[in-house]
């Protein structure tokens, strides 16, 4: 018997559809993970966004994807030529899955940042405004582990 509420797969698909950045598209395949995602740690402050870096890009609001703001995101991998990232926030919320990243050059005020691991962002590399900093391998691994927990182990 149905409770009238969408099941977990439908909720995840809705979350992914809300999470795509401008020029991004919802990935085919599993609703919660971009198909063909390659998670890797390969930062290099060379002007191109790479996994293991914090970069700045426009991110749509979850509750109204027609609006958004420029914010730091942590790149965790690639899907073809596109980047897969998680948004960073300086506000800790107990109501959502977050992983402490710490402070870095991406925040001028030196505030600690938290990775919002429930929401994967599929970003066109040309939409990245600037590189912010490289995160340490331990921080990167903790964020990836948090994303794997948040996505039920389907994130490889």
If you write DSSP's letter for every residue of 112-149 in order, what string do you get? -EEEETT--EEEEGGGEEEEEEEPPHHHHHHHHHHHHH
What are the residue ranges spanned by the domains of the chain?
8-150
For the residues 138-151, what does the mean pLDDT come to?
94
8-150 CATH fold = SH3 type barrels. (2.30.30)
Question: In this predicted model, what pLDDT tens digit does every residue of 109-119 receive, in sequence order?
Answer: 999 999 999 99
Whether this model's pTM surpasses 0.85? no
Q: Which residue has the tokens 């909720």?
A: 11
pLDDT for position 35: 64
For the residues 147-154, what does the mean pLDDT come to?
84
């Amino acid at each position: 018997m149905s409770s009238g509420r969408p099941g977990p797969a439908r909720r995840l698909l809705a979350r992914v559809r809300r999470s795509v950045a401008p020029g991004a598209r919802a990935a085919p395949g599993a609703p919660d993970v971009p198909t063909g995602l390659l998670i890797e740690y390969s930062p290099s402050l060379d002007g191109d966004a790479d996994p293991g870096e914090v970069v700045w890009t426009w991110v749509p609001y979850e509750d109204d994807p027609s609006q958004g703001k420029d914010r730091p995101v942590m790149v965790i991998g690639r899907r073809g030529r596109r980047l897969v990232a998680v948004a960073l926030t300086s506000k800790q919320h107990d109501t959502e899955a977050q992983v402490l990243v710490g402070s870095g050059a991406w925040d001028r005020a030196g505030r600690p940042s938290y990775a919002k691991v429930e929401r994967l962002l599929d970003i066109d590399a040309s939409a990245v405004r600037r590189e912010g900093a490289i995160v340490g391998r331990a921080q990167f691994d903790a964020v990836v582990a948090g994303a794997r927990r948040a996505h039920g182990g389907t994130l490889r």
